[in-house]
Amino acid sequence: MPRSVWLLVAARAINRMGAFSLPFLTVLISVDFGTSATTAGLVSAAFGLASIPSRLAGGRLATVLGRRRTIVLGLTGCAVAQLGIAASGSLAEVAVFAVLLGLAFELYEPPSQGLIADAVGPADRVRAYGLLNAGLAVGGAGAGLLAAALGRWDLRRLFVVDALTCLLCALALHLALPADRTGRPAVRRGAGARPARPWRDRALWAVFASGTLFALVSLQIVMGLPLTLARRGLQPADAGVLFTASAVTAVAFQPALRLPRLASLSDPAALALGHVLLALGLGGYAASSGLPAFVGATVLCGLGEVLVLGRVFSVVAGLAPPGGADGYLAAYGTSWGIATVAAPVTSTQALEHLGATALWAATAGLCLALAAVQLLVVGPLVGARRPGGDPGRGSRPKGVAGPWRRAV
């Protein structure tokens, strides 16, 4: 892998080490200010709403200011907002800084994902994005334990640690990444390249719609687990242990992605399999009552997320025209902003009115529906954009026989 990819992976691992404050935002608001779960969910939803223009701005600023400047600006802004949340003395102050955090939160993503898309060829993108996710998981393994320890002491400490890791990540990337070219676009388009118009691309819309629901599922896990644990007589901070189990699963599963049967799966088949594994894990949450059972369900969810995240960014980058990866990835990434708005509301409302069992059972059913959508809708639309209608495959390791590849 190119040096820039390794730099981004290492920096994101550092940043991820302190990035478990957000799941505890609703808990912090409820505990420190005595508000209802609904009010806490609305504040978290305001953060998510602000993150939607943040993602789009990240794609635009990567072209205007340059990728390195945009990355540093986003991480520094996150640090300032996190420190503001930690120091807030009222609900209004927390809400203001939560919105500011949302406005800075997604600036990093489009330029970093665009750097990876341009640094490697199409055949290596699944592996590159998988490596990025593994780096996030390595940082997350320590972050979950950190959250479990600090969360028992003072939830505000999580936001301070998060801010420090953001600043450390910003400094490391400012020193290590190539300087932006002053007065020039961050990405050069080749002669005759068609302009990037992601919102006019039907295939991207299909990936975007299913990706929004996948993001909603992922964030409901993040937002809903601490509250679910509390309702079942466990410590909310034990969610840090579960997040660590998910991170360890993501790291341990990376070598399996290169096994012939997994690596040669078409993109729709791999995405469908990931959603089925997620459904199984979520069904486990619905039935779990003790921490060991929650850990087992989390491992299944972690396996599903590894399969989906490793493929979907490669699919989106493959849809973009030359030089258009930043715009396509930014457009797709707004799915996470929409989900960040919805997840605090849907998870808290479902927990209050339906209970934990109904929340996780319904979410498992949604994942099974998404598995079918990958095969019946998303796959054909994306395949129609490729020569010969090829639905796309992961990077095939050496030794995979041609007949097996055709069979899948």
User: pLDDT tens digits for the chain (408 residues)?
Assistant: 788 788 888 777 776 665 566 667 777 777 777 777 778 778 877 887 888 888 888 888 888 888 889 999 999 998 999 899 888 888 888 889 989 988 988 888 888 888 887 887 776 777 778 777 777 777 766 666 666 666 566 677 778 888 888 888 888 888 888 787 654 444 444 444 455 678 888 888 999 999 999 999 998 888 888 888 888 888 877 787 888 788 788 878 877 777 778 778 888 999 999 999 999 999 999 988 888 999 999 999 989 988 898 788 888 888 877 767 777 888 888 888 788 778 877 888 888 888 889 999 999 999 999 999 999 998 888 877 665 455 555 544 333 333 222 222
Average pLDDT across the chain, whole number = 79
Q: Please say whether the beta carbons of 144 and 247 come within 8 A.
A: yes
Upper half-sphere CA count for residue 55 (Cβ side, 13 Å): 22
pLDDT in tens, 98-118: 899 889 888 888 888 888 878
Q: Please say whether the beta carbons of 268 and 315 come within 8 A.
A: no
**Secondary structure of 110-149 as H, E, C letters:** HHHHHHHHHHCCHHHHHHHHHHHHHHHHHHHHHHHHHHHH
Structure confidence at residue 17 (pLDDT): 62
Q: Read out DSSP for 156-217?
A: HHHHHHHHHHHHHHHHHHHHHSPPPPTTS-SSPPPTTPPP--GGG-HHHHHHHHHHHHHHHH
What's the one-letter identity of residue 339? A
Fold of 3-176+198-407: Growth Hormone; Chain: A; (1.20.1250)
Residue 399 has a CB neighbour count (10 Å cut-off) of 6
Predicted TM-score of the model (pTM): 0.70
Q: Which of 183, 180, 47, 125 is nearest to 328 (CA)?
A: 125
3-state secondary structure of 154: coil
Longest CA pairwise span in the chain (Å): 65
Where do the structural domains in the chain lie, given as residue ranges? 3-176+198-407
What's the one-letter identity of residue 356? A
